A and B are shown apart, each in its own frame.
Chain A
Amino acid sequence: MLIRSRLLRLLCALVLAVLAMAAGWVLRPAAPVPARAVVHAAAAPVAVDVTRLHKVAQGDLPMPAGAAAAHASSLLVMPPGGPSALTVFWFSGERESGPGVQIAASQWDRSMQAWSAPRIVANRHVLGAQLGHGVRRLGNPVAWMDADGRIHLFVVATGWGGWAASRILHLRQSSHSLNLDALEFSPVRVLPLSWLWNTSHLVRNTPLPLADGGMVLPVHFELGWKYPVALRFDAQGDFQGMVRMSARKHLLQPTLLAQSPDHWIGLLRDESANGKVGAVATDDGGQHWRDLPDLALDNPDASVGGMALGAGQMVLAHNSSPGSRARLDLSHSSDGVHWSLLATLASGAPMDEFSYPSMAWADNSLWISYTVDRQRLAWQRFAPGGSP
């Protein structure tokens, strides 16, 4: 049927556009409320004086039998009153980026005051079969618990190529129990984050919890240029959107610290020759970000991990040498700009490596896990009450 009137054709086009908009509106989930961060650690509702934290325990995490490599641990706080205080996830296998790498996990048993024997919770062949397409390699896992008490795992999964061909695979707990011996995950989806065959985004650091039960997951792009991106998820773990965090092209692996519900800073690994910690900030709950000057802290193109334990109570683990990862320090700050040494977590010979720290607050303690020589993982526990 030919419509000869241009006005009538325009009206038809407008009607179709309105229908598309209405359908898009009806078929979409409800829009989230503005993001407001939880400033205090979930298990530390009272303010913590980070200057009075002191080490009360440390050790190595048990490794799966035959695993020659371990890296990129991620600590997850478990519900209070349960048998476990923490679950730690990491990638384990014959070597980094090896075909046999799997995601391993262990739990801190409250009654035994010890880590459980590790168990493999994600395997690339199983995940590939569940996704309907191949997964070439697995990498960094990051864990989060949603408002319904289900664990979500965000895992780096590569396509054809190396880490630059990575995508972020979103897994969700499919078992009823949180106990490690029963813990199972199934894929939700590969997160859609870029147009270029959905490469090349990676995840590394723990999410920033939001007051609505959701979270902001810091990730980064790393095909040639490297830049940080913030992803928002609702209380059930559904993807809500993405925002680029910096215009600079050499910043990756952001860690987020909330100074107030709306004002957050992101501290980043800087792969340029600066050898410092990069910094960005937002004043509107992550909608817009601005670059800040680098911190004065030394850090040799290495992953940093931080968290805010309350307003003006921030801690950051970083490699405090411009040329190696042989020393891992814990620093504290009240403003996110000026940092002071709180403790040296580990140090060794120049070729030693103590890297990729992860933090969590559980059972009235700050827990830190990190990689040792890419072969094993170590942990330390800090409790309040020491001398500043």
Chain B
Amino acid sequence: MNAAASLFSADNPGLPALGLVQLWLHLGWGTLLAWLGVCMGTRLGLQPRAAWVLASALMVWAWLPGPYAPVHWLGLAFQGPSVMAVLLCAVDLVWRRTGSGRFREGPSFWSGAWLAAGVLLGWALLLDTLALLPVSLYAWGFNAAVPALLVLLALLPWVLQGGSARQHSMSVLVVIVLGVYVALHLPTGNVWDALLDPWLWLYLNVRAVRAGFAGRRGVLP
């Protein structure tokens, strides 16, 4: 098999080593739990300082080994979170901490398009899991060419509209996720697992329904 053929083959996935997967379990779930802690603390009316103490405690808890730590049970049930979910939570935490504001998407068409893309991708992956698609979409996620194609798709809004990185924050995030995936193959070695996990997809579905009802558009927490 020549180099070009191997590049387009789905038959040579690089899977992450077990140690890296374990590190990701703690880092990923720790970040998600910290974000949930801040969100819940804020919603429950805690002082900002108390909310951040709660988030920090959850983050530390996630690094403990064994069945007394949440990662033991979260990993058992859901494996590791997607790189995208962790990155979204991390960015939101940083922006909450620094008070530098929320995600600013460009034209509302693109924010709606990102939301629709996430929702549709999740539905396609779910149907593929149940063998209800004529192709094996998940297996394509091991293909070395797919991340490159996704980089092009992610940058499409910027290519067509122009503008700053701040105006195309979702494009930047997707490219970062793909970069992490290409370099480290996290979390599983399959690019779809890096981009979208079922929890993030369920969240996007809720956002889509709410946006539909409210006539608004939005993607990010």
Q: Which chain A residues have a beta carbon within 8 Å of chain B's beta carbons? A: 2-4, 6, 9-10, 12-14, 16-18, 20-21, 23-25, 27-34, 128-136, 159-160, 167, 187-190, 192-198, 221, 223-225, 227, 232, 238-244, 247, 249
CB distance from A161 to the nearest CB of B (A): 8
How many residues on the B side are at the interface (Cβ–Cβ under 8 A)? 70
Known: A18-B148, A132-B21, A224-B130. A197 touches B76 (CB 8 A): no
Interface hits, B99-134 → A, CB 8 Å? 125-126, 128-131
Tell me which residues across on chain B come within 8 A of A249, comparing CB atoms. 131
Known: A189-B15, A192-B188. A24 touches B126 (CB 8 A): no
- The secondary-structure label for the interface of chain B is helix
**How distant is the Cα of A133 from the Cα of B139 in the complex, in angstroms?**
25
Q: Which chain B residues have a beta carbon within 8 Å of chain A's beta carbons? A: 1, 3, 5-7, 9-18, 21-22, 25-26, 65-67, 71-79, 125-126, 128-131, 136, 138-139, 142, 144-145, 147-149, 151-152, 155-156, 158-160, 162-164, 175, 178-179, 182-183, 185, 188-190, 192-193, 196-198
**How distant is the Cα of A238 from the Cα of B18 in the complex, in angstroms?**
13
CB distance from A357 to the nearest CB of B (A): 27
A9 engages B162 (CB within 8 Å): yes
**How distant is the Cα of A129 from the Cα of B76 in the complex, in angstroms?**
12
B15 engages A194 (CB within 8 Å): no
A10 engages B159 (CB within 8 Å): yes
Query: With A9-B155, A32-B11, A239-B189 given, can you name 20 additional A-B contacts, CB distance below 8 Å?
Result: A13-B158, A16-B155, A20-B148, A23-B182, A23-B183, A24-B148, A27-B183, A27-B185, A128-B76, A131-B75, A132-B21, A134-B73, A160-B76, A189-B16, A196-B125, A196-B129, A197-B78, A197-B79, A198-B188, A249-B131
Tell me which residues across on chain A come within 8 A of B152, comparing CB atoms. 13-14, 17
A242 engages B182 (CB within 8 Å): no
A20 engages B151 (CB within 8 Å): yes
A241 engages B65 (CB within 8 Å): no
B193 engages A21 (CB within 8 Å): no
From A25, A33, A131, contact of B22 by CB (8 A) = A131
Tell me which residues across on chain B come within 8 A of A30, comparing CB atoms. 6, 12
Tell me which residues across on chain A come within 8 A of B12, comparing CB atoms. 28-32, 240-241
